[in-house]
Protein backbone atom coordinates (compact mmCIF):
# COMPACT_ATOMS: atom_id res chain seq x y z
CA UNK A 1 0.00 0.00 0.00
CA UNK A 2 1.30 3.50 -0.80
CA UNK A 3 1.16 6.48 -3.16
CA UNK A 4 3.81 5.45 -5.70
CA UNK A 5 2.26 6.07 -9.14
CA UNK A 6 5.35 4.79 -11.01
CA UNK A 7 5.22 1.52 -9.11
CA UNK A 8 1.50 1.14 -9.86
CA UNK A 9 2.15 1.88 -13.56
CA UNK A 10 5.01 -0.64 -13.79
CA UNK A 11 2.89 -3.38 -12.21
CA UNK A 12 -0.05 -2.66 -14.52
CA UNK A 13 2.28 -2.81 -17.57
CA UNK A 14 3.36 -6.28 -16.38
CA UNK A 15 -0.27 -7.43 -16.26
CA UNK A 16 -0.67 -7.33 -12.46
CA UNK A 17 -3.74 -6.16 -10.50
CA UNK A 18 -3.54 -2.80 -8.72
CA UNK A 19 -6.27 -1.28 -6.53
CA UNK A 20 -6.87 2.37 -7.47
CA UNK A 21 -8.62 5.20 -5.65
CA UNK A 22 -11.47 7.01 -7.36
CA UNK A 23 -13.89 9.64 -6.07
CA UNK A 24 -16.66 6.99 -5.89
CA UNK A 25 -15.17 3.73 -4.57
CA UNK A 26 -11.83 1.93 -4.92
CA UNK A 27 -11.39 -0.01 -8.18
CA UNK A 28 -9.59 -3.27 -8.88
CA UNK A 29 -7.63 -2.34 -12.00
CA UNK A 30 -5.88 -4.17 -14.81
CA UNK A 31 -4.70 -3.33 -18.33
CA UNK A 32 -8.01 -3.50 -20.21
CA UNK A 33 -6.28 -4.50 -23.46
CA UNK A 34 -4.48 -7.48 -21.87
CA UNK A 35 -6.96 -10.35 -21.60
CA UNK A 36 -4.78 -12.42 -19.28
CA UNK A 37 -4.62 -9.48 -16.88
CA UNK A 38 -8.40 -8.91 -17.05
CA UNK A 39 -9.05 -12.59 -16.29
CA UNK A 40 -7.28 -12.01 -12.96
CA UNK A 41 -9.94 -9.42 -12.03
CA UNK A 42 -12.73 -11.95 -12.49
CA UNK A 43 -10.79 -14.55 -10.49
CA UNK A 44 -9.92 -12.19 -7.63
CA UNK A 45 -13.51 -10.96 -7.25
CA UNK A 46 -15.07 -14.34 -8.07
CA UNK A 47 -17.18 -12.36 -10.48
CA UNK A 48 -19.32 -14.12 -13.08
CA UNK A 49 -17.88 -13.52 -16.57
CA UNK A 50 -21.24 -12.37 -17.96
CA UNK A 51 -20.81 -9.19 -15.91
CA UNK A 52 -18.93 -6.61 -18.04
CA UNK A 53 -16.34 -4.12 -16.77
CA UNK A 54 -16.07 -0.32 -16.90
CA UNK A 55 -13.20 1.07 -18.99
CA UNK A 56 -11.41 3.96 -17.25
CA UNK A 57 -9.59 6.60 -19.30
CA UNK A 58 -8.00 10.00 -18.58
CA UNK A 59 -9.94 12.03 -21.15
CA UNK A 60 -11.89 12.00 -24.43
CA UNK A 61 -8.65 11.90 -26.47
CA UNK A 62 -7.93 8.45 -25.03
CA UNK A 63 -11.39 7.38 -26.22
CA UNK A 64 -10.56 8.52 -29.79
CA UNK A 65 -7.46 6.33 -29.75
CA UNK A 66 -9.71 3.34 -28.95
CA UNK A 67 -12.10 4.21 -31.82
CA UNK A 68 -14.80 5.05 -29.28
CA UNK A 69 -16.90 8.18 -29.47
CA UNK A 70 -19.55 9.75 -27.29
CA UNK A 71 -22.97 10.47 -28.83
CA UNK A 72 -24.13 14.11 -28.72
CA UNK A 73 -26.15 13.80 -25.50
CA UNK A 74 -23.25 12.05 -23.76
CA UNK A 75 -20.90 14.82 -24.90
CA UNK A 76 -23.11 17.41 -23.19
CA UNK A 77 -22.90 15.41 -19.96
CA UNK A 78 -19.16 14.91 -20.42
CA UNK A 79 -18.59 18.66 -20.54
CA UNK A 80 -20.31 19.10 -17.20
CA UNK A 81 -19.62 15.88 -15.28
CA UNK A 82 -16.35 14.35 -16.48
CA UNK A 83 -13.99 13.72 -14.84
CA UNK A 84 -16.59 12.59 -12.32
CA UNK A 85 -18.96 9.90 -11.09
CA UNK A 86 -20.72 9.23 -14.40
CA UNK A 87 -20.34 6.18 -16.70
CA UNK A 88 -21.41 6.18 -20.37
CA UNK A 89 -22.54 2.95 -22.06
CA UNK A 90 -21.82 3.41 -25.78
CA UNK A 91 -21.20 1.23 -28.86
CA UNK A 92 -17.93 -0.67 -28.50
CA UNK A 93 -15.13 -0.96 -31.09
CA UNK A 94 -12.91 -3.75 -32.39
CA UNK A 95 -10.08 -2.49 -30.17
CA UNK A 96 -11.98 -3.48 -27.02
CA UNK A 97 -11.62 -7.14 -25.99
CA UNK A 98 -14.83 -9.16 -25.61
CA UNK A 99 -13.91 -9.96 -22.01
CA UNK A 100 -14.47 -6.26 -21.13
CA UNK A 101 -17.92 -6.10 -22.72
CA UNK A 102 -19.00 -9.65 -21.79
CA UNK A 103 -19.36 -10.22 -25.52
CA UNK A 104 -21.99 -7.49 -25.95
CA UNK A 105 -21.66 -4.76 -28.60
CA UNK A 106 -21.54 -2.06 -25.89
CA UNK A 107 -18.82 -0.77 -23.60
CA UNK A 108 -19.06 1.30 -20.42
CA UNK A 109 -16.53 4.16 -20.10
CA UNK A 110 -15.72 6.55 -17.30
CA UNK A 111 -13.24 9.31 -16.50
CA UNK A 112 -12.71 9.13 -12.73
CA UNK A 113 -12.00 12.28 -10.75
CA UNK A 114 -9.11 11.46 -8.47
CA UNK A 115 -5.73 13.20 -8.85
CA UNK A 116 -3.61 10.05 -8.30
CA UNK A 117 -5.64 7.90 -10.68
CA UNK A 118 -5.87 10.61 -13.35
CA UNK A 119 -2.07 10.94 -13.25
CA UNK A 120 -1.75 7.16 -13.46
CA UNK A 121 -4.11 6.99 -16.46
CA UNK A 122 -2.17 9.76 -18.23
CA UNK A 123 1.10 7.85 -17.69
CA UNK A 124 -0.25 4.63 -19.21
CA UNK A 125 -0.78 4.01 -22.91
CA UNK A 126 -3.74 1.69 -22.26
CA UNK A 127 -7.11 2.07 -20.48
CA UNK A 128 -7.84 0.39 -17.15
CA UNK A 129 -10.65 -2.06 -16.56
CA UNK A 130 -11.79 -1.53 -12.99
CA UNK A 131 -14.79 -2.91 -11.14
CA UNK A 132 -15.25 -1.99 -7.49
CA UNK A 133 -12.50 -3.66 -5.42
CA UNK A 134 -14.73 -5.98 -3.37
CA UNK A 135 -15.51 -9.68 -3.65
CA UNK A 136 -18.52 -10.06 -5.95
CA UNK A 137 -21.80 -9.35 -4.14
CA UNK A 138 -20.26 -7.63 -1.11
CA UNK A 139 -20.06 -3.99 0.04
CA UNK A 140 -17.79 -1.73 -2.05
CA UNK A 141 -14.59 -0.29 -0.48
CA UNK A 142 -14.28 3.43 0.22
CA UNK A 143 -10.82 3.31 1.86
CA UNK A 144 -7.54 1.55 1.05
CA UNK A 145 -7.91 -0.38 4.34
CA UNK A 146 -11.27 -1.80 3.16
CA UNK A 147 -9.50 -3.13 0.05
CA UNK A 148 -6.68 -4.62 2.11
CA UNK A 149 -9.21 -6.41 4.35
CA UNK A 150 -11.16 -8.03 1.52
CA UNK A 151 -8.68 -8.46 -1.35
CA UNK A 152 -5.27 -7.70 0.20
CA UNK A 153 -3.75 -11.02 -0.85
CA UNK A 154 -5.08 -10.75 -4.41
CA UNK A 155 -3.59 -7.39 -5.50
CA UNK A 156 0.04 -6.55 -6.25
CA UNK A 157 -0.33 -3.00 -4.89
CA UNK A 158 -2.96 -0.70 -3.38
CA UNK A 159 -2.61 2.91 -4.47
CA UNK A 160 -3.81 4.79 -1.39
CA UNK A 161 -5.72 7.93 -2.28
CA UNK A 162 -7.49 8.39 1.06
CA UNK A 163 -11.22 8.01 1.70
CA UNK A 164 -13.48 8.29 -1.36
CA UNK A 165 -15.18 11.69 -1.58
CA UNK A 166 -18.48 10.58 -3.16
CA UNK A 167 -18.71 7.12 -1.57
CA UNK A 168 -21.24 5.43 -3.90
CA UNK A 169 -20.45 4.16 -7.39
CA UNK A 170 -20.90 6.14 -10.58
CA UNK A 171 -24.27 6.77 -12.19
CA UNK A 172 -24.51 4.63 -15.35
CA UNK A 173 -26.39 5.91 -18.41
CA UNK A 174 -26.82 3.91 -21.60
CA UNK A 175 -26.81 5.73 -24.95
CA UNK A 176 -27.65 2.68 -27.07
CA UNK A 177 -31.27 3.67 -27.74
CA UNK A 178 -32.81 6.95 -28.89
CA UNK A 179 -33.68 7.87 -25.33
CA UNK A 180 -30.83 7.68 -22.80
CA UNK A 181 -31.50 5.02 -20.17
CA UNK A 182 -30.45 5.01 -16.53
CA UNK A 183 -28.83 1.67 -15.63
CA UNK A 184 -27.60 2.50 -12.11
CA UNK A 185 -28.29 5.32 -9.68
CA UNK A 186 -24.99 6.77 -8.48
CA UNK A 187 -22.82 9.76 -7.69
CA UNK A 188 -24.37 12.19 -10.21
CA UNK A 189 -28.02 12.91 -9.35
CA UNK A 190 -30.37 11.87 -12.14
CA UNK A 191 -32.17 15.22 -11.77
CA UNK A 192 -28.94 17.03 -12.73
CA UNK A 193 -28.57 14.80 -15.80
CA UNK A 194 -32.15 15.42 -16.92
CA UNK A 195 -31.65 19.16 -16.56
CA UNK A 196 -29.01 18.95 -19.30
CA UNK A 197 -30.37 16.31 -21.70
CA UNK A 198 -34.07 15.94 -20.89
CA UNK A 199 -35.89 12.86 -19.57
CA UNK A 200 -33.94 9.62 -19.25
CA UNK A 201 -35.70 6.26 -19.05
CA UNK A 202 -35.57 5.09 -15.45
CA UNK A 203 -35.92 1.61 -14.00
CA UNK A 204 -39.53 0.82 -13.11
CA UNK A 205 -38.88 -0.11 -9.49
CA UNK A 206 -37.12 2.23 -7.09
CA UNK A 207 -33.95 0.29 -7.78
CA UNK A 208 -32.36 -1.29 -10.82
CA UNK A 209 -33.38 -4.92 -11.18
CA UNK A 210 -33.23 -5.81 -14.82
CA UNK A 211 -31.68 -9.15 -15.68
CA UNK A 212 -31.24 -8.17 -19.36
CA UNK A 213 -28.84 -5.40 -18.36
CA UNK A 214 -25.76 -7.42 -17.46
CA UNK A 215 -24.64 -7.18 -13.89
CA UNK A 216 -27.41 -5.00 -12.51
CA UNK A 217 -27.98 -7.67 -9.92
CA UNK A 218 -30.87 -7.31 -7.50
CA UNK A 219 -28.79 -8.98 -4.80
CA UNK A 220 -25.58 -7.16 -3.99
CA UNK A 221 -23.85 -5.17 -1.25
CA UNK A 222 -24.53 -8.08 1.12
CA UNK A 223 -23.80 -7.56 4.80
CA UNK A 224 -23.18 -10.62 7.01
CA UNK A 225 -26.10 -9.69 9.24
CA UNK A 226 -29.55 -9.48 7.65
CA UNK A 227 -30.55 -5.95 6.66
CA UNK A 228 -34.09 -4.57 6.51
CA UNK A 229 -34.99 -1.36 4.67
CA UNK A 230 -38.16 0.65 5.28
CA UNK A 231 -39.62 2.95 7.90
CA UNK A 232 -37.01 2.27 10.56
CA UNK A 233 -39.12 3.40 13.53
CA UNK A 234 -41.83 0.88 12.57
CA UNK A 235 -39.36 -1.90 11.72
CA UNK A 236 -37.55 -1.44 15.04
CA UNK A 237 -40.82 -1.56 17.00
CA UNK A 238 -41.86 -4.75 15.19
CA UNK A 239 -38.45 -6.41 15.62
CA UNK A 240 -38.38 -5.66 19.34
CA UNK A 241 -41.65 -7.60 19.75
CA UNK A 242 -39.97 -10.87 18.67
CA UNK A 243 -38.63 -13.45 21.11
CA UNK A 244 -35.69 -13.58 21.68
CA UNK A 245 -35.35 -9.81 21.33
CA UNK A 246 -32.81 -9.12 18.56
CA UNK A 247 -29.86 -6.79 18.97
CA UNK A 248 -30.29 -4.11 16.31
CA UNK A 249 -28.07 -1.49 14.67
CA UNK A 250 -29.77 1.32 12.75
CA UNK A 251 -28.69 3.34 9.72
CA UNK A 252 -30.52 6.58 8.99
CA UNK A 253 -30.00 10.10 7.71
CA UNK A 254 -30.19 11.70 11.16
CA UNK A 255 -32.97 10.01 13.15
CA UNK A 256 -32.82 9.11 16.82
CA UNK A 257 -34.45 5.82 17.83
CA UNK A 258 -34.98 5.92 21.62
CA UNK A 259 -35.40 2.11 21.79
CA UNK A 260 -31.77 1.49 20.69
CA UNK A 261 -28.50 2.24 22.51
CA UNK A 262 -26.90 5.28 20.92
CA UNK A 263 -23.69 3.39 20.05
CA UNK A 264 -25.76 1.17 17.74
CA UNK A 265 -27.17 4.06 15.71
CA UNK A 266 -25.41 5.25 12.56
CA UNK A 267 -26.60 8.71 11.54
CA UNK A 268 -25.04 9.49 8.20
CA UNK A 269 -25.49 13.28 8.19
CA UNK A 270 -26.40 15.45 11.16
CA UNK A 271 -27.25 18.32 8.79
CA UNK A 272 -29.41 16.09 6.57
CA UNK A 273 -27.10 16.27 3.53
CA UNK A 274 -27.65 13.35 1.15
CA UNK A 275 -24.16 13.88 -0.35
CA UNK A 276 -22.55 13.54 3.06
CA UNK A 277 -24.76 10.52 3.82
CA UNK A 278 -23.71 8.78 0.58
CA UNK A 279 -20.04 9.31 1.35
CA UNK A 280 -20.46 7.56 4.70
CA UNK A 281 -22.90 4.78 3.74
CA UNK A 282 -20.58 1.86 2.93
CA UNK A 283 -18.27 2.51 5.90
CA UNK A 284 -21.33 2.54 8.20
CA UNK A 285 -22.60 -0.74 6.70
CA UNK A 286 -19.18 -2.30 7.45
CA UNK A 287 -19.06 -0.94 11.00
CA UNK A 288 -22.58 -2.14 11.76
CA UNK A 289 -21.69 -5.52 10.32
CA UNK A 290 -18.70 -5.84 12.64
CA UNK A 291 -20.87 -5.31 15.75
CA UNK A 292 -22.26 -8.10 17.89
CA UNK A 293 -25.83 -7.76 16.61
CA UNK A 294 -28.54 -9.81 14.90
CA UNK A 295 -30.07 -7.31 12.52
CA UNK A 296 -29.37 -4.04 10.69
CA UNK A 297 -32.40 -1.80 10.16
CA UNK A 298 -32.00 0.99 7.60
CA UNK A 299 -34.40 3.90 7.24
CA UNK A 300 -35.50 4.60 3.67
CA UNK A 301 -33.83 7.83 2.50
CA UNK A 302 -35.62 10.66 0.66
CA UNK A 303 -36.29 9.60 -2.97
CA UNK A 304 -34.32 12.42 -4.57
CA UNK A 305 -30.73 13.31 -5.46
CA UNK A 306 -28.20 10.92 -3.95
CA UNK A 307 -31.00 9.47 -1.79
CA UNK A 308 -31.95 7.38 -4.84
CA UNK A 309 -28.46 5.83 -5.01
CA UNK A 310 -28.44 5.22 -1.25
CA UNK A 311 -31.84 3.47 -1.36
CA UNK A 312 -30.71 1.41 -4.37
CA UNK A 313 -27.68 0.07 -2.48
CA UNK A 314 -29.65 -0.56 0.72
CA UNK A 315 -32.45 -2.30 -1.19
CA UNK A 316 -29.99 -4.65 -2.86
CA UNK A 317 -28.32 -5.36 0.49
CA UNK A 318 -31.80 -6.14 1.89
CA UNK A 319 -32.47 -8.54 -1.01
CA UNK A 320 -29.26 -10.47 -0.35
O1 LIG B 1 -17.89 4.16 -9.60
C2 LIG B 1 -17.73 3.18 -10.31
O3 LIG B 1 -18.35 3.00 -11.36
C4 LIG B 1 -16.70 2.12 -9.84
C5 LIG B 1 -15.31 2.77 -9.89
C6 LIG B 1 -14.21 1.80 -9.55
O7 LIG B 1 -15.10 3.33 -11.16
N8 LIG B 1 -16.77 0.94 -10.64
C9 LIG B 1 -17.81 0.06 -10.52
O10 LIG B 1 -17.64 -1.09 -11.28
O11 LIG B 1 -18.75 0.25 -9.81
P12 LIG B 1 -18.55 -2.39 -11.05
O13 LIG B 1 -17.98 -3.41 -11.98
O14 LIG B 1 -18.56 -2.74 -9.63
O15 LIG B 1 -19.94 -1.97 -11.54
C16 LIG B 1 -20.09 -1.66 -12.91
C17 LIG B 1 -21.46 -1.95 -13.38
C18 LIG B 1 -21.80 -3.43 -13.35
O19 LIG B 1 -23.11 -3.57 -12.83
C20 LIG B 1 -21.76 -3.82 -14.81
O21 LIG B 1 -22.67 -4.85 -15.11
C22 LIG B 1 -22.13 -2.54 -15.51
O23 LIG B 1 -21.52 -1.55 -14.76
N24 LIG B 1 -21.60 -2.52 -16.88
C25 LIG B 1 -20.31 -2.57 -17.26
N26 LIG B 1 -20.21 -2.60 -18.60
C27 LIG B 1 -21.46 -2.57 -19.07
C28 LIG B 1 -22.03 -2.61 -20.37
N29 LIG B 1 -21.25 -2.69 -21.47
N30 LIG B 1 -23.38 -2.57 -20.49
C31 LIG B 1 -24.16 -2.50 -19.39
N32 LIG B 1 -23.70 -2.48 -18.13
C33 LIG B 1 -22.37 -2.51 -17.97
MG1 LIG C 1 -19.34 -3.31 -7.87
Q: What is the DSSP letter of 138?
A: B
Distance CA 144, CA 100 (A): 25
Q: Per CATH, which fold does 5-197 belong to?
A: DHBP synthase (3.90.870)
ipTM above threshold 0.90: yes
Q: Which of 132, 91, 90, 82 is nearest to 111 (CA)?
A: 82
Å from CA of 287 to ligand 1 middle: 25
* Contact yes or no for 47/41 (Cβ under 8 A): yes
Q: What is the per-residue pLDDT for 230?
A: 98
Q: Which backbone phi and psi does 202 adopt, to 5 degrees? A: -110, 155
* Contact yes or no for 173/74 (Cβ under 8 A): yes
Distance CA 193, CA 205 (A): 19
Q: What is the per-residue pLDDT for 189?
A: 98
Q: What is the per-residue pLDDT for 317?
A: 95
The CATH class given to the 227-319 domain equals alpha beta
Q: What is the per-residue pLDDT for 179?
A: 96
Q: Is 132 in the pocket of ligand 1 (CB under 6 A)?
A: yes
Residues of the chain scoring pLDDT < 70: 205-216
Positive or negative, the Cα torsion across 223, 225, 230, 233?
negative
Q: What are the domain boundaries of the chain?
A: 5-197, 227-319
Distance CA 120, CA 34 (A): 17
Q: Is 110 in the pocket of ligand 1 (CB under 6 A)?
A: yes
Å from CA of 314 to ligand 2 middle: 14
Q: Is 197 in the pocket of ligand 1 (CB under 6 A)?
A: no
Radius of gyration of the chain (CA): 19
Distance CA 53, CA 42 (A): 10
Residues 6+ away with beta carbon under 8 Å from 22: 56, 112, 113, 114, 117, 130, 161, 164
Segment 64-118, tens digit of pLDDT: 999 999 999 999 999 999 999 999 999 999 999 999 999 999 999 999 999 999 9
Amino acid sequence: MGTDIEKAAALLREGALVAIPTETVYGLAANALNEAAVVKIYQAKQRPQFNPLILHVADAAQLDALNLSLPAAATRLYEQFSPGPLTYVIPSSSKIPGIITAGTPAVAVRIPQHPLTLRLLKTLDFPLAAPSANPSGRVSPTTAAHVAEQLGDKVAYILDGGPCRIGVESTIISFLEDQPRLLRYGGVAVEAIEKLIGPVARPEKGYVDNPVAPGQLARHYATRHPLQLGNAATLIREALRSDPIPRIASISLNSIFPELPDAYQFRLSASGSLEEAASRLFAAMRLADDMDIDLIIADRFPEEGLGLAINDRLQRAANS
